[in-house]
Amino acid sequence: MDLRVENLSHFYNDLEVLRDLNLTIPHGEIVCVIGPSGCGKSTLLRLLGGLEKPSKGQILQLGEAPSGSLNPLTYVFQDFALLPWRTVEGNISLVLEPHGLSAEEKERRIADVLERTRLSDFRKAVPKQLSGGMKQRVAIARALAVNPAVLLMDEPLSALDSQTRELLMDDLVGLWQREPFTSCYITHNLNEAVRLGHKVVVLSRRPGLIREIVDIDIPLSERDVSNPKLAALQQQLWEMMRDEAQTADMELATG
């Protein structure tokens, strides 16, 4: 399933947050969205997920959701959002419980995503026993358990230290290579954008306009930290948004 954004604008009262966005998130691709603080990245994700209705324009779901999809659109947040009294498998089971699945089907889905995220040995652990990186892997496993058509990821690695962030990026690449998924991935981290994105959408400062859509033709498997093409691309993206990022920070600081 593709997501298509057509002529989308959004306001909060008189504050214009997004202006006239046109964008397609194609099936099987990760589209990263970057931009200065306050440019409307997270607002765009809420609109894509149906948590808010756009002030103008429309968002279309084109094509069929994958077989066995329980939620076509599913979120992964930066704060993990795990229930502390539930085990790893219990947190994953939570999203399956409203769907009337048999015990056998729930167990099949849980076992599958635990294996895919390398958490099978931790299924009985509770969140306080896990590192930050493992908690986020549980959150990713929980999202994958419903077999979503599109994974909406809101700065999922921003709460993690740099070493754990690198490991989680490797995990996401591995997951995509094993079974390609579709994702809109919001981030302020340019390294994440060039490591994970098939496309990088650059938004301007508020109101967020699409300044550029950059296609990255380097296979995900070749995007390690030593690749000079990635470093050059990251610098190119920073030069696109540097002045506006500085202005946006000053505007936020002064209200």
| CATH value at residue 241 | 3.40.50.300
Residues 61 and 158 in one domain: yes
Residues 30 and 87 in one domain: no
CA distance 137 to 156: 10
Please give the single-letter amino acid code of residue 162.
S
Note whether residue 182 is domain-resident. yes
Whether the per-residue pLDDT at 242 is higher than 90: the answer is: no
Whether the per-residue pLDDT at 246 is higher than 90: the answer is: no
Whether the per-residue pLDDT at 39 is higher than 80: the answer is: yes
Whether pTM exceeds 0.85:
yes
Residues 144 and 169 in one domain: no
**Residues 175, 116 contacting (CB under 8 angstroms):** yes
Q: Examine the fold and report which residue of 113, 148, 183 is the final residue of a domain before the chain moves on.
A: 148
Residues 211 and 98 in one domain: no
Q: What domain range is 117 assigned to?
A: 80-148
Note whether residue 71 is domain-resident. no
Note whether residue 112 is domain-resident. yes
Q: Examine the fold and report which residue of 128, 148, 168 is the final residue of a domain before the chain moves on.
A: 148
Domain count, the chain: 2
Assign 19 a pLDDT band (cuts: 50, 70, 90). Answer: very high
Residues 240 and 122 in one domain: no
User: Which structure tokens are listed for 132?
Assistant: 């930050």
| pLDDT score of 252 | 56
Section 181-209 average pLDDT: 94
- Report which of 31, 40, 74, 44 is spatially closest to residue 193, judged by C-alpha positions: 31
User: What DSSP letter does each residue of the chain carry, written as one string?
Assistant: -EEEEEEEEEEETTEEEEEEEEEEE-TT-EEEEE-STTSSHHHHHHHHTTSS--SEEEEEEESPPPTT-S-SEEEE-TT----TTS-HHHHHHHTTGGGT--HHHHHHHHHHHHHHTT-GGGTT--GGGS-HHHHHHHHHHHHHHT--SEEEEESTTTTS-HHHHHHHHHHHHHHHHHS---EEEE-S-HHHHHHH-SEEEEEPSSSB-EEEEEE--S-GGG--TT-HHHHHHHHHHHHHHHHHHHHHHHHHHH-
Residues 192 and 227 in one domain: yes
Residues 183 and 241 in one domain: yes
Section 157-178 average pLDDT: 89
Note whether residue 183 is domain-resident. yes
Position with higher pLDDT, 242 vs 197: 197
* Lowest-confidence region among 45-49, 93-97, 152-156, 164-168: 164-168
Q: CB neighbours of 188 closer than 8 A, spacing ≥ 6?
A: 34, 37, 41, 155, 158
Assign 68 a pLDDT band (cuts: 50, 70, 90). Answer: confident
CA distance 120 to 89: 9
* Lowest-confidence region among 80-89, 137-146, 234-243: 234-243
Q: CB neighbours of 40 closer than 8 A, spacing ≥ 6?
A: 10, 17, 18, 203, 206, 207, 208
Q: What is the mean pLDDT of the chain?
A: 91
